[in-house]
Amino acid sequence: MKIAVLHYHLRPGGVATVIRRQIQALDGAADLLVVTGEEPSAPIGAPVAIVPGIGYDSSGATGEPVAVAAAVHAAIRERFGGECDALHVHNPTLKKNSRFLAILKRLRDSGVNLFLHVHDLGEDGRPDSFFTDGEYPEDCHYGVLNGRDYRALLGAGLKAEGLHLLFNAVTPLEGVKRSESPSGAVYPVRAIRRKNIGEALLLSRFLPAGERLAVTLPPTSPRDFPGYEAWKAFAHSRTLPVRFDAGLEAPLSSLLSEARCVLTTSLKEGFGFAFLEPWTAGLPVAGRRLETVCPDFEAEGVCFPGFYGSIRVPRGFFSFDRFARTWRERASVQFRAFGRSVGKREIDGLFERAFPGGETDFGSLDEAAQIEAIDALDSRADARETLVAENPLLEGIFLADDPDVVAWNDRAVRERYSPERYRELLLGVYARVRDVSVRQSIDRKALLDFFLHGEPWRLIASGAVQ
C-alpha cells in the first residue's frame, strides 16, 4: 500500500509524535512518504518531501493553491511512480494556513484519495484557528480521535461509511522503576491554559504532609507564558507544595519513579495520552474525568476509579457576582469571535444552563475565582471540611493505589492501544479510502452550533478570551 502523510510541519509536539508512531506502526506494511512545509529537526523514519507552501502562515508560507497542490501531487507521483492509495492529512480544519482548504480541494479534484484526520476543530473554542469562510473538503474520508468529535461530525452531515474513529497508538513507558517509598504526584503536561493549572494547585493541598506535586513543562507559546508565570508566583506566595518546570530538571522517567501517582486536571483533550500511558509504568492516574475521551477508553476496558466529574465549589468561596459578569462578557466575546451575534437573553440562558441554581464546578471558574477559592481554604476555618463534604473523593485522591486496577489498566492499554492493533486499524481505513467513494459534506453552521450550544462553555478552555 502506498501512503503519503501530510502536515504543516514536524516540529516537536503532539501531532508530530502521532506521525512518528504512525510511521513506526506501518513499518514493513506500507510504502511511505511524508510531505511537510519545512525541514524536520530530526529524522522522521520515512522519506520526506518539503513543500513550503503548506507551512504555517506565521512561518511565511506563500503560494497560489493551484501551484502548491501541484507541488504536493508531484512529490507523491515522484515517490511512488504514480498515485498513492491515500493521502493522510493531519489537522486539516485548523486555519494555520489560510489557503489550505483550497489546496486540499485542488488535490481532491486532481484525483488524490484524501483522508482528513481531525485532531482539533476550530469550532471547539479556537476562533483564532477557525476558517471564517470556505467549505471543508467534500466527498472525501474524514477521521477523528474521540467519540465526541465523531458524533459532532455525524450530526453535521458526514456518513458512517466516510467517517472513521481512529485512536492513537500508545507507547508503553518502559524503564520506570517505582520507588518502594513513593512520594508526591506528577502532572506530565506542558502547562498551557486549558490544562487547568489552578485546579492542580488546589489539589496539591490534599497531598500527604511533606509531599509535592511536580508540573513538568512550561508552555512554548508566548500567549501562555503570562498566565503560567502568574500561577508560579501565586503558588510561591502561598507556599503551595508544587514544583514547576520539573521536567527541565529531571527526566520524566525519574519523576515517575519517585511519584505515588500521576495527576490530570485538563479541561480539553483531543485524545489524552496522560489518561493511558502512566498505567504502563505501574502508576495509578487520578484527576478530572473528561466526557470527551474517557468513555472511549472505558469501552476498550480501561477504568478510572480515582476520577471526579467536577469539583463543586460553594458560592461563598469566591465572588460569584463578579465571576458571573465576567463569564457573560467573555461568552459574548466568544460568540462574536465566531461571527455570531448574541443577545443578553441568550447569554443569560447559557449561563443558567452552565450553572444551574448557581452550582459551580472549579474547572468552570476563571483564574481570578480559582485563586479566591484556593485562598478560602486558608481564610475560612471550615473551608476544607465544607469542600470535602461536597467532594468526598478529594480527601484520598492521591492515595487510591490499587495494584489490581493498575495491573488491569496496564494490560488493557498494552492490548487495545498497541502499535500492532493501530497498524491494522490504519490499513483498514486506508483500504476504505482507496476503495470506497463517498458523497458527503460538512454543514459548518451545524458543526459550530454543536460546540457553541451543545456543551457548557468554560472560560479557561476557550481560545477566544484570556
Which tens digit of pLDDT belongs to each residue from 325-347? Answer: 999 999 999 999 999 988 999 99
- Which has the closest alpha carbon to 278: 299, 306, 309, 250? 306
> Splitting the chain (466 residues) into consecutive groups of 10 residues, what average pLDDT does each group show?
97 88 94 96 93 95 96 98 98 96 97 97 92 95 97 98 95 91 96 96 97 96 92 98 97 96 96 96 96 96 95 94 94 91 90 86 96 94 94 92 95 97 97 98 96 84 57
Q: Count CA atoms closer than 13 A to 48's CA, side-chain side.
A: 19
CA dihedral 416→417→418→424, nearest 10 degrees, is 80
The confidence score (pLDDT) of residue 465 equals 45
Residue 158 near residue 440, CB atoms below 8 Å: yes
CA dihedral 227→231→233→237, nearest 10 degrees, is 150
Is CATH 3.40.50.2000 the classification given to domain 172-306+410-417?
A: yes
Residue 353 to residues 328, 359, 435: CA-CA distances in angstroms? 12, 10, 45
Residue 317 near residue 383, CB atoms below 8 Å: yes
Is the whole-model pTM more than 0.95?
no
Which cell numbers in the block locate residue 136? 471543508
CA dihedral 230→232→233→238, nearest 10 degrees, is 120
- Which has the closest alpha carbon to 227: 363, 366, 376? 366
Question: In terms of C-beta density within 10 A (0-12 exposed, 13-18 middle, 19 or more buried), how is residue 226 classed?
Answer: exposed
**Cα-based angle 34, 35, 40 (whole degrees, multiple of 5):** 80
Which cell numbers in the block locate residue 336? 462574536
The confidence score (pLDDT) of residue 464 equals 47
Give the domain ranges of the chain.
2-169+418-453, 172-306+410-417, 311-396
Concatenate the DSSP letters of all residues of 20-73 into one string: HHHHHHHTTTSEEEEEESS--SS--SS-EEE-GGGS-GGGT----HHHHHHHHH
Q: pLDDT tens-digit profile of 251-302?
A: 999 999 999 999 999 999 999 999 999 999 999 999 999 999 999 999 999 9
The confidence score (pLDDT) of residue 455 equals 76
CATH for 2-169+418-453, among 3.30.70.120, 3.40.50.2000, 3.40.50.720, 3.40.190.80? 3.40.50.2000
Domains 2-169+418-453 and 172-306+410-417 share a fold: yes
Cβ neighbours of residue 324 under 8 Å, at least 6 residues apart? Answer: 351, 355
The confidence score (pLDDT) of residue 220 equals 86
Reduce the DSSP state of residue 452 to 3 states and report it: helix
